[in-house]
Amino acid sequence: MIYVDADACPVRAEVERVATRHRVRVFVVSNGGIRPSANPLVETVVVSEGPDVADLWIAERAGAGDVVITADIPLAARCVEGGAQVLKPDGEALTAANIGNVLATRDLMTDLRAADPFRQGGGKGFTKADRARFLDALERVLRRITASGVK
């Protein structure tokens, strides 16, 4: 199964397209405002309002043989710990080997922003190259899961 942390996810359509080709079920999880898909493999899950409710829903269900799509680093860490394959929307894989460093960097950047409230800037924009890397990464992960026979 694929779990998509759907709030502000720029690759929902790509996930649906690749999942359909592989006949993999997808859960698109958000606090609302997401248009449901007509695709029978895609289920839209609307959770109650509140901080991290969608994250908790995903983390409680994702495990070995599943894929989680998220840019949320704490959610990614919980899912990696649970055995899931995690991809960021730009195609970067978050694994047991790198999640500690990624989480530490996120925490450091949060502290730096808090120390300097006038600090400007945000993340880089999402590009066509990011989308292409994501499609390639998702394809490779699904093929690897299928070949391993997990789930």
pLDDT tens over the chain, length 151 residues: 999 999 889 999 999 999 999 999 999 999 888 889 999 999 999 998 877 899 999 999 999 999 999 999 999 999 999 999 999 999 999 998 888 777 776 666 666 667 777 766 566 788 999 999 999 999 999 999 988 876 5
**Token pair of 100, please?**
């500690």
Q: Can you tell me the distance from the alpha carbon of 141 to that of 1, in angstroms, rounded to the nearest whole number?
A: 12
Contacts 24+ apart (CB under 8 A), 75-80: 75/5, 76/102, 77/103, 79/3
CB-based contact 71:89 (threshold 8 Å):
yes
CB-based contact 79:93 (threshold 8 Å):
no
